[in-house]
Homo-oligomer: A and B are copies of this chain.
Amino acid sequence: MEDLYPSRGQEERIINRVDKTVYSNKNFGQQSLDNIQREQYDENGYIVVPNLFSADEIKELLEDIEIMSSNDELRQNEEFITEPNGENLRTIFNQHIFSSAFEKISQDGRILDKVQQLLGGDVYMHHSRINIKPAYVGKSFPWHSDFETWHCEDGLPRCRCLTAWVMLTDNTHFNGPLYLIPGSHKKYVCCKGMTPAENYRYSLKKQEYGVPSVEAIKELSSKDIVAALGKAGTLVIHDGNIMHGSPDNISPDPRTNAFFVYNSVHNKPIKPFSAPTKRADFLSLNDYTPVRVKS
């Protein structure tokens, strides 16, 4: 199969996205996006839906994180990633498998109607993750396109995937919020540098491959960078290829978000396009059962 999104080569270059951003204009369920929201998503590559989940729902999810975090046996699993140079938990992968509250949210029509609409039908879970950015010590994430990694290292052939994520704490300008470059999802940075074997073992702590140069970030920033801010309970959906990153969190408030990566069932992984071996199964789940609304 032709590689429409070549990366990890000798030189960095920027090409155009080949795929659509919005795959369907019809409604899916009662809670998909309206015309204006779809147009915004297509143009900017993301959409923010404030306060979609209630305080009680968020409380239940946070409690499930506490339960998972304090379970030493569970923390032995490779899904549990610590901060570089520390013991603090940075990421929990596949919370929808470990926690029934997160599983329920991942099948909620408030998320899934929008996701199915944007990706044009059935989707499955490529993976999910909770990013915990602790107060004071949470470190930054460099700029990257998720899709670049999913294409190069997992083998997703096309960009027909997205991340829907829920703020579990307030995301402010001060606690290391996600920065997005509006419109950057319509470009694709072919990054410089061959992927080493088992790169994911290091990249989950600190990404070094698939990171564009500052010049590329400048070129993508024809619109000003935005921060995805909101109260706990806010939903954000961003395209798999949008360029994003986040600064460190020196504030006294933690920043915790739950991410769900959905991929179209028509876009199952083949083989890595630019890596010697596929990433571990927990990063690229091979259960392609469509996620359907349960409410």
Residue A173 lies at the interface, judged by CB distance under 8 Å to chain B: yes
Inter-chain CA distance A47–B148, complex, in Å, is 44
Contact yes or no, A136 B250, CB < 8 A: no
Complex-state Cα separation, A142 to B250, whole angstroms: 7
> In chain B, what residue has the closest Cβ to A143?
B250
Interface window among A9-17, A89-97, A200-208, A213-221: A213-221
A248 to B142, CA, bound (A): 11
Q: Does A18 contact B (CB under 8 A)?
A: no
A252 in contact with B136 given A174-B179, A174-B225 (CB within 8 Å): no
The interface residues of chain B lying within 8 Å CB-to-CB of A214 are 135-136, 252
A157-179, CB < 8 A from B: 173-174, 176, 179
Please, how many angstroms separate the alpha-carbon atoms of A143 and B248 in the complex? Answer: 13
A251 CA / B217 CA spacing, docked (Å): 8
Count of interface residues, chain A, beta-carbon cutoff 8 Å:
23
Please encode chain A, from 221 to 255, with 1 for each CB lying within 8 Å of some chain B CB and 0 for all others.
10001010000000000000000011111111000
* Contacts A179-B174, A214-B135, A225-B174; A248 near B248 (Cβ below 8 A): yes
Partner pick for A173 among B173, B176, B250, CB 8 A cutoff: B173
List chain B residues, Cβ under 8 A from A227.
173-174
Contact B251 A225 (CB under 8 A): yes
Q: Are B245 and A247 in contact (CB under 8 A)?
A: no
Chain A contacts with B in 69-91, Cβ cutoff 8 A? none
Chain B residues, Cβ within 8 Å of A217: 136, 252
Could you write out 8 A-B pairs with CB less than 8 Å apart? A135-B214, A136-B214, A140-B248, A173-B227, A174-B179, A217-B252, A247-B250, A248-B248
